[in-house]
Amino acid sequence: MTQKYATMLFEARKTKGMTEEKALSLVTDDANYFGTMMMYAGDAHGMVSGACHTTADTMRPALQIIKTAPGINLVSSIFFMLLPEQVCAATPMPIPCTPTAVSPSALSTAPGSYRLALWTFSAFS
């Protein structure tokens, strides 16, 4: 699988300077690249990351390889906290943090997150 994903990564990014050696190193040594390549290949529907990785390190492979949907120019992430009695979700603000930036970000994340994002904006601005 590693060689398959490395070849796919090289093909997807060679115009951006990706080498076959660098692609193999990334999918071998970086769980975020390996997981992203699993999704890109259709071998997985999603991945969980972030507990041991920064948001940038988590999102970079997805933005480089899978990219955003057509017409979407803002990205965000969501954090799930599993507590004994409930599951909480929080999303950081997109940059720039304005109501017009928050709304599309929330709408593209999930229908229910729109209220959460607007509450978060009003609570922290």
Question: For the segment 1-49, what is each residue's pLDDT rounded down to a tens digit?
Answer: 899 999 999 999 999 999 999 999 999 999 999 999 999 999 998 888 8
Q: Which domain holds residue 84?
A: 79-124
Number of domains in the chain: 2
Length of the chain: 125
| Same domain flag for 89 and 57 | no
| Same domain flag for 62 and 6 | yes
pLDDT value of position 4: 96
The helix (run of H) or strand (run of E) holding residue 99 is: helix 99-109
